[in-house]
Structure 1
Amino acid sequence: MNVCQYGVPPKEWELPFLAVPERVARLRRNICAPLRLWGVPELVDAVQLCVTELVTNVINHVGAGTPTWVTMTANEARLRIEVSDPDAQAMPSLPRTASAQESGRGLGIVATVADRWGVIPYEHGKVVWCEFGTEPGCDDGQVGDPRLAQADALLTLYGRLPAGRRGGSTLGRVVVDEAATELIADLLHWFHVRGVDPDTALDRAQRRFETGLGLRR
């Protein structure tokens, strides 16, 4: 799909390969270079995760050794990932029942991480795609927030985030949320070891948080 907007030709990258488990790690590495060249290194983790899940779906539900193509197309607004295979019958879908949760886990991850996803069936195959927003300036008013900057710096210093990692519409949300949760858990452990009730510490932090938002007077 051509996602060109603003009259700017899209950037394109494609890799054909046989879908076997031992190729997945190499595929993840190959994805890094074009994303960094295109100026969206913050999407590397998200794209690697989605491609891994989509290719794993091909291996599990179509068969190991299936001829597969991964295509990435980017413009100023969006990055689109497409994983194509020649099987038009095994159509992926999100699980609808608890018993299907395990088999549908991969698409569940893609649906959570990407902005949107879908399937395009063809007579001789299908394309499973997902997209990420790449437009600059979509920070929801976060620029200039000193407490947010301090938290970002702390998480980076703490070793939970690579430098420059921020939340956003991609895996950044998942990575940052998990990193912050781990930091909070470690701090609660720190309070516990030093004989301070973690619940008391949380209450104090909650009061200060609400005061900062103007929720307490």
Structure 2
Amino acid sequence: MQGGAVLACLEQARHVHAAEYQLRSVLPFEAVPAGLLPLRKAVRAQLMRWGMPAVSHEAELATTELATNVIQHVGEGAPAIIVMEVSGHRALRIEAHDKSRESPRVSGAECWAEHGRGLQLLAGVALDWGVLLTATGKAVWCEISLDHVQHCTRVRRAAAVAEEYRRAAAGDQVLVEHSAAAREAVTHVICDLLHWISAQGEDSDSVLDQALMLYEAEAGLAA
């Protein structure tokens, strides 16, 4: 793509609209008390990459309770998985998958009495929660509202693109297309990434200028 086309894409990227991506993260963990802190950190880091730091506290709290439930009611050392997913504007969904088919129940103040909070606390921070039986056990899930988050469709798309870019870079893959469709796609990617940068609290214009300067410098060296 020539310099003029890059500039055109940068300009068009401020005004275009596109469809929504779904975001999904899978975090395997071992159900032990020492594993709770690393799990919370992984959740926080993923939400930062998705441009959702405003829901990090609620998500970490919910994740801790879901993981603690596995430790106490499935067994310490049991393998489990946390799945986080955003597929719409309404909520962040968090699921804890384990190999037990026994469903937790709210039983007044004694529920998860060792910690004194359990499902009541989960219900307090979540829009809703429930249990799904799976082929290998069950998934206890909850949904956290995104209504108060300064978060938009473009941020989710940019986060999804960033995840794919990291995977491609790790595999040393380079995909090149020369077409109007490729130019339009690049425009959308740039625009979405600018929204993601803004969601991180950064100045998108400054980042755009730096990116353009870097591109021009690298293009000059390659010439």
**d(CA) in 2 for partners of 1:30, 1:137:** 20
Paired residues for 1:105-144 under 5 Å: 105-135=117-147
Shift, 1:71, TM fit: 0.6
Question: Any unmatched runs of 5+ in structure 2?
Answer: 1-17, 151-200, 202-223
**d(CA) in 1 for partners of 2:141, 2:90:** 16
Paired residues for 1:131-210 under 5 Å: 131-135=143-147
**d(CA) in 2 for partners of 1:39, 1:135:** 14
Alignment of 1:102 with 2:113, yes or no, is yes
In structure 2, the CA distance between the partners of 1:137 and 1:108, relative to structure 1 (3 Å rule), is closer
- Give the structure with the higher percent helix: 2
Normalized against structure 1, the TM-score is what? 0.55
**d(CA) in 2 for partners of 1:127, 1:60:** 15
Q: Is the 8 A contact 2:54 2:149 kept in 1?
A: no
Bigger relative contact order, structure 1 or 2 (CA pairs below 8 A, ≥6 apart): 2
Look up the match of 2:31: 19
Moved over 3 A (4+): 98-101, 135-138
Secondary structure of the structure 2 residue equivalent to 1:52: helix
| Amino acid corresponding to residue 71 of structure 1 in structure 2 | V
Look up the match of 1:82: 95
Shift, 1:49, TM fit: 0.6
Identity %: 39
| Amino acid corresponding to residue 102 of structure 1 in structure 2 | A
Secondary structure of the structure 2 residue equivalent to 1:88: coil
> What's the CA shift string for 1:45-70, capped at 9, x where partnerless?
10111110110111011100111000
Q: Is the 8 A contact 1:88 1:123 kept in 2?
A: no
> What's the CA shift string for 1:22-79, capped at 9, x where partnerless?
1101111111112112221111110111110110111011100111000100133321
Look up the match of 1:202: none
Shift, 1:94, TM fit: 1.2
Alignment of 1:43 with 2:52, yes or no, is no
Normalized against structure 2, the TM-score is what? 0.54
The alignment's C-alpha RMSD in Å is: 2.4
Question: Any unmatched runs of 5+ in structure 1?
Answer: 1-5, 139-163, 165-217
What is the aligned length? Answer: 132
